[in-house]
């Protein structure tokens, strides 16, 4: 079989280049946008995904980790009574106002008061053990590398949160937050920073189970008791989803992202289909001759679709290479980008879908390949 589609693509690559570029850049934009969304909004569940707790206990109706209220500290004993529970520890969230060494204006910080012991659950995956141990010192805090300039401090220097003095004892990475700055400290330090007199319990209790697979069942079992005041429970996975969903959909950010994705798809499809249509029109007399010789329209359509497929595949390849380079660059600059296999698959499907839509549009212009028009 003579590979007409491929040979034409190679020989007339200049003609197809705009389509490949359009597909490639559309793919790249989708990929990076998705990576940024996953990175930025994924950071809203960092408190959950970066910790090894299986079940979270918090105030009923809490929509994201950052919007919790205090619960009764005695709930801890209720949770510990469950035989499936291995360990429970409190987690205190304090909204603070940061003042650094240099004048920076008001900076809103999210103070996370955690158990600094080596077996502590909170941020066990995000915080190296040596840094964690240093938090045991009074008034010690750890901040993310990317926010040092913003906070106007460096390691070893002091600052104030809500008017209380703290000292930066360590710098971590991967602790970026959305809409503020994460500051990690011990539970004791956090209690000292909290100015609201009504807050006398932890914001959350986090529990580790003997068998993490039972998280949903245990969370359900622990719910519903009112003996210790209002509280509810989630499995870690549910609570992480809840947080991401809140940011994606309830803040309108997700709608913006989807809108942009739609625009990118549309622009890519318009350019790609126009290029493919021009390519079909450029060969319309040859296609008509083949049809005169009895080669069916269906076979000619397959040629156009195959060209669209190769345009998509080559565009994807270019987007992939550029995407990897840009991702590495972004990571090195502490830009929060995260790519998962499903996200990559979504991008591949979007790009190939774009190529397919364009191919179908181009196929329609084959109706001009009427051999009777050659006899004039």
Partner 1 sequence: MLAASATEPLRVPALVAENVSKAFVSGQQRTQVLDGLSLSLDAAELTLISGPSGCEKSTLLAILSGLQKVDGGRVMALGSELGQLDVRALERFRLQHTGFVFQGFNLFPALSAFEQVELPLNHMGLSRNEARARAQSSLEEVGLAHRMRLRPSELSGGEKQRVAIARALAKKPELLFADEPTSALDAANGQMIIDILHRIARTHGTTVLCVSHDPRLVVHADRVLAMEDGRILSDWRTQAPVFDSKESSS
Site residues, partner 1 (CB under 8 A)? 1-2, 4, 7-8, 10-12, 283, 285-286, 288-297, 299, 371-372, 374-376
Q: What share of the chain is helix, strand, coil (3-state, %, to 5)?
A: 55, 15, 30
Q: How far is the CB of 212 from partner 1 (least distance, A)?
A: 59
- How far apart are CB 149 and partner 1 at their closest, in Å? 56
CA distances from 211 to 66, 84, 87, 91, 214 (A): 27, 7, 12, 21, 6
The CB-based long-range contact list for 127-131 (8 Å cut-off, 24+ gap) reads 127/50, 127/172, 127/175, 127/184, 128/172, 130/170, 131/169, 131/170, 131/172
Nearer to partner 1, 70 or 291 (CB): 291
Give the C-alpha distances (Å, rounded to integers) separating 299 from 295, 306, 344: 7, 11, 32
Q: How far is the CB of 126 from partner 1 (least distance, A)?
A: 55
Contact predicate 292/361, CB 8 Å: no
Q: Helix, strand or coil for residue 30?
A: helix
- The 8-class DSSP code of residue 137 comes to S
Q: Which is nearer to partner 1, 240 or 279 (CB)?
A: 279
Neighbours of 221 (CB within 10 A): 14
Residue 52: CB minimum distance to partner 1, A: 59
What's the min distance (Å) between Cβ of 289 and partner 1? 4
In angstroms, give the least distance from the CB of 296 to partner 1. Answer: 5
Residue placing its CB nearer to partner 1 in the complex, 97 or 286: 286
Pinpoint the alpha helices (H) of the chain.
Answer: 4-11, 13-42, 46-49, 75-80, 129-134, 148-151, 187-193, 215-222, 236-245, 253-282, 284-292, 297-332, 341-364
DSSP β-ladder status, 140-144 and 85-99 = unpaired
CB nearer to partner 1: pick between 36 and 278: 278
CB 275 to partner 1: min, Å: 16
Closer residue to partner 1, CB minimum distance, 354 or 366: 366
Kindly report the number of other CB atoms within 10 A of residue 112's CB atom. 27
- Indicate the residue among 14 and 213 with the shorter CB distance to partner 1: 14
Decide whether 77 or 373 has the Cβ nearer to partner 1: 373
Nearest to 71 by CA among 228, 239, 233: 228
CB of 371 to partner 1, least distance (A): 5
In the complex with partner 1, which residue's Cβ is closer, 20 or 288? 288
CB of 274 to partner 1, least distance (A): 21
- Strand partners of residue 141: 168, 185
Nearer to partner 1, 163 or 296 (CB): 296
- Note the Cα 351 to chain centre separation in Å: 19
Measured distance CA(317)–CA(171) in Å, rounded: 38
Instruction: Kindly tell me which of 177 and 279 has the beta carbon lying closer to partner 1.
Output: 279
Dihedral of alpha carbons 283, 289, 290, 291, sign = positive
Work out how close the CB of 293 gets to partner 1 at its nearest, in angstroms, rounded to a whole number: 5
């Amino acid at each position: 079989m003579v590979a007409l589609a491929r040979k034409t693509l190679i020989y007339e690559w200049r003609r197809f280049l705009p389509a490949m570029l359009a597909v490639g850049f559309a793919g790249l934009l989708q990929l990076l946008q998705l990576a940024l969304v996953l990175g930025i909004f994924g950071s809203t569940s960092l408190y959950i995904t970066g910790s090894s707790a299986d079940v979270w206990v918090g105030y009923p109706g809490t929509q994201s980790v950052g919007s919790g209220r205090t619960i009764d500290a005695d709930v801890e004993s209720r949770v510990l009574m469950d035989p499936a529970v291995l360990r429970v520890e409190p987690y205190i969230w304090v909204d603070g106002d940061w003042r650094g060494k240099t004048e920076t204006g008001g900076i809103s910080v999210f103070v996370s008061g955690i158990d600094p012991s080596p077996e502590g659950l909170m941020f066990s995956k995000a915080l190296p053990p040596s840094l964690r141990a240093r938090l045991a010192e009074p008034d010690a805090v750890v901040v993310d590398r990317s926010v040092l300039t913003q906070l106007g401090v460096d390691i070893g220097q002091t600052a104030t949160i809500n008017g209380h003095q703290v000292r930066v004892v360590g710098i971590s990475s991967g602790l970026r937050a959305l809409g503020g700055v994460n500051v990690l400290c011990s539970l004791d330090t956090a209690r000292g920073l909290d100015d609201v007199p009504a807050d006398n319990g932890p914001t959350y209790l986090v529990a580790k189970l003997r068998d993490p697979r039972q998280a949903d069942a245990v969370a359900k079992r622990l719910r519903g008791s009112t003996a210790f005041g209002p509280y509810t429970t989630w499995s870690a996975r549910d609570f992480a989803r809840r947080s991401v969903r809140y940011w994606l959909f309830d803040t309108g950010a997700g709608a913006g992202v989807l809108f942009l994705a739609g625009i990118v798809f549309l622009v890519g499809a318009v350019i790609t289909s126009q290029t493919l249509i021009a390519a079909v029109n450029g060969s319309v007399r040859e296609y008509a001759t083949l049809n005169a010789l009895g080669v069916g329209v269906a076979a000619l359509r397959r040629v156009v679709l195959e060209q669209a497929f190769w345009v998509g595949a080559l565009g994807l390849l270019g987007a992939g290479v550029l995407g990897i380079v840009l991702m590495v660059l972004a990571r090195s600059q502490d830009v929060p980008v995260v790519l998962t296999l499903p996200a990559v698959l979504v991008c591949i499907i979007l790009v190939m879908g774009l190529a397919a839509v364009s191919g179908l549009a181009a196929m329609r212009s084959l109706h001009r390949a009427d051999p009777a028009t050659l006899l004039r």
